[in-house]
Amino acid sequence: MTGPLGRRRFIGAAAALGGAALAGPLAPLAQARPAGAPSPGAPSAGTPASGAPSSAARWPDSLATPPGFQPEGIAVSARGVAYTGSLIDGSIYRADLATGTGRILTRGQGPQSVGLKLDAYGRLLVAGGASGQIRVVHSGDGRVLATHQAVTGTGFVNDVVVGCGGAWFTDSFGDVLYFLPAGRELTGPGAAPRALRIGGEWVPVPPGGEYWGANGIERTPDGRALLVVHDTAQALFRIDPGSGVATRTVLDGGSVGNGDGLVVHGRTLYVVRNWSYAVDVFTLSGDGRRARFVRQITDPRFDEPTTAAVYGDRLYVVNARFDADWSDPATASTIVSCPL
């Protein structure tokens, strides 16, 4: 990631100031959720949800997040409910894709919310950024069900994917992934995350938190391995979830430079390239060892986009707006919808 006021500088300041010092109080909601609206269902897991509309042309093409809420990650349920977390204080916002209405689900108390995903039980698994934490949150009522300390000291728990036996989290300052096993119980003493050291062709990150390594994470189309984009190396890696051995994915055209969030939809890979203000689209081999560039999505509404999710025939892209003045409590952002 590049730029005079890039993500590194903002996140470092947020960690040093405890997040809350960078913004005023959050607005309680962008627009009230309609009474009787359906509760969130199971996650779409990167594929079109059962019952998802074939066309969302009449749905809002942009969703506003509340003032003072800087979004980063996104998860979408099978019923079209989107969740995003705030880099400022860790609050989580829930919005209906069909109407654009939403509300704060969980009001944060300091630790950031970066990447997040829904698991098969409707729980939000949230990467806690510089806090080193992983949080498990009830997607219906916003209760924090568990908080795990994945790393102490220099670390940045950045993104998460559900697959390959559980939930996998990246650490951008360490050559490691954190794993939570799949299952109904993620809150007991046996549910602590375990670390998997990344090796093989992986490019090690110098210690100290000055350089960023692992960022976005996804599953390969065959579901047998993980894909991780490396920020400093500007490369995509396939990682064996059993051994941690990484092999560089061969790109046939295109670039993953400034790569942030990843989305795998069937055999299609979407790479959100924040400071490139674009989403690059590739066709993957089943095992994730090769990726052929197809096209690039650009949109004048992109404003340091970070992550994305597929629902129906649309790609929902989160604008983190790293260069905005988040010390102003009126500053806000958007999630924008693009055709696949």
Q: Which pLDDT tens digit goes with each residue over 157-189?
A: 999 999 999 999 999 999 999 999 877 666 665
Residue 189: its pLDDT value, please? 59
Closest CA to 293 of 256, 235, 252: 252
Q: Is the pLDDT of residue 198 over 70?
A: yes
Bridge partners, residue 214, by sequence: 230
Amino acid in the structure at residue 173 = F
| Distance of alpha carbon 140 from alpha carbon 212, whole angstroms | 34
Residue 183: its pLDDT value, please? 75
Q: Which pLDDT tens digit goes with each residue over 109-139?
A: 778 999 999 999 999 999 999 999 999 999 9
Supply 79's token pair.
Answer: 């019923």
In angstroms, the Cα distances linking 213 to 83, 173, 217 are 25, 6, 12
Give me the chain's average pLDDT, please: 86
Q: Which pLDDT tens digit goes with each residue over 281-310?
A: 999 999 999 999 999 999 999 999 999 999
In angstroms, the Cα distances linking 327 to 53, 69, 138, 238 are 39, 11, 29, 39
Residue 54: its pLDDT value, please? 53
Is the pLDDT higher at 114 or at 29?
114
pTM summary value? 0.86
Residue 13: its pLDDT value, please? 43
- Please compute the mean of the pLDDT values over residues 236-243 and round it to a whole number: 98
Sheet holding 166-171, edge to edge: 157-163, 166-171, 176-181, 194-197
Least confident of 19-28, 54-63, 307-316, 323-332: 19-28
Residue 26: its pLDDT value, please? 25
Q: Are 267 and 282 in contact (CB under 8 A)?
A: no
pLDDT band at residue 192 under the 50/70/90 scheme: confident
- Please compute the mean of the pLDDT values over residues 265-275 and round it to a whole number: 98
Is the pLDDT higher at 57 or at 334?
334
Residue 32: its pLDDT value, please? 28
| Distance of alpha carbon 187 from alpha carbon 320, whole angstroms | 30
| Distance of alpha carbon 115 from alpha carbon 87, whole angstroms | 10
- Please, how many CA atoms are within 13 Å of residue 68, restricted to the half-sphere of its CB? 19
pLDDT band at residue 190 under the 50/70/90 scheme: low
Least confident of 33-37, 133-137, 213-217, 227-231: 33-37
Question: What percent helix, strand, coil does the chain show, rounded to 5?
Answer: 5, 40, 55
Residue 52: its pLDDT value, please? 61
